[in-house]
Amino acid sequence: MTTLRAVLWDLDGTLVDSAEYHWLSWCEALTAAGHSFDRDFLVATFGQRNDRILRAMLGPDATDAEIQRIADDKEARYRTLVRKRGIELLPGAELWLKRLRASGWRQALATSAPRANVATMVEVLDLAEYFGVIVAAEDVQRGKPDPQVFLLAAERLGAATYRCIVVEDAAAGVEGARSAGMRSIGVGAKHAELGATVAVSSLGELPEDVFEDLLGRIDF
């Protein structure tokens, strides 16, 4: 464990951008259930678990059964869109997945997405060879910013937490990484606001030695 190096990847917004698919599937599922939906709310809650999003949106009167029904419908519609329209890795993602694998880093997906969604994207993008571990929404009881998803991924990889680097596009994920005792790389349009150890707008902008450099830091 003291020598193993690991990268724990968030999926949506970090390796791929399927925000539009999420928006469309939320609109369709909520309309079918007789509810409206605010796009700003989607942006603010992106990356959180569906039950948390729906509970905040529908309020305390919504039953667990209703929340589960809407969430399941939304995700089924999302998977249909991914398969029908396709999806691509974000710039720099494939390069880093290959480079890290070639350098002996272990890699895991640590995501708030349902396992069926993750499996669909991994299949469509042909990513299975890169990830020794996949931790999805069903594997944890608490979503980001709780560190559980990262701690479980590290445990399943057999990596010490201080030898893990998290790559995230959301503040909740960066906070979770920090709580887990892990350094982080923040990516995306809002990278400067994430509070990550290193932050860039795109994976393609990362220096070649960034992962090794992060392991050598004593600050978080």
**To the nearest 10°, the Cα dihedral for 173, 23, 187, 179?**
0
d(CA 149, CA 60): 26
Q: What is the DSSP letter of 107?
A: E
Q: Write out the catalytic residue numbers.
A: 10, 12
DSSP class of 194: S
The SS3 call for residue 60 is coil
Q: How far is CA 218 from CA 164, 197, 199, in A?
A: 13, 11, 17
| Residue 115: closest CA among 134, 132, 143 | 134
b (16+ CB within 10 A) / e for 20-52? ebbbbbbbbbbeeeeeeeeeeebeebbbbbbee
